[in-house]
Structure 1
Amino acid sequence: MTNAVRHAQHSPDAEVTLHMTEHLLVASVGDLDSRPITPAEAGRAAGQGLRTVADLARTFGGDVRIEPSSGGCGKTVVVRFILPQGTP
């Protein structure tokens, strides 16, 4: 969410969604800023927040994807975490 606020300043809105199943947590942040971003580029930024999130996701067997917005304008950063067995 911090990246959407800092780097998508021309986007008036950002949407955060969380989805959880028995073994998976998916967090996504979408904005209307048409400028693309890749995890490699985000890693060069001052805060390196997306890189930290990607490292954390990989620790839990997950990943980070950057997808075009379903509405055709903007992008969505999707982070998947595989949850350990026994997670409530």
Structure 2
Amino acid sequence: MAAEGDFLSAEVEAAPGRQSQAATALSRLGFKVLHIGTTISVSAPRQVWEQAFGLPQTEVPGELSELVIGVHFQGPPDLHAL
């Protein structure tokens, strides 16, 4: 789960062809939409995630069930010294 301070970032997988609608719905819920492409990059305070999806188990809420297939959190980068 990628986190910066109290903010969490993730890639949201939208239903095929529903990226714009899903991004609009996520924005209304308090998410900052960073990029819309194959997936939707979003960021929000932990509290927004907890209210919308629940944590630590992420479940797509009913209001997003027709727009969102899944949420994918990225782990911290694996950095190696050269």
TM-score of the aligned structures, taking structure 1 as reference length: 0.34
Q: Which structure exhibits the higher relative contact order, with contacts defined as CA atoms closer than 8 Å and separated by 6 or more residues?
A: 2
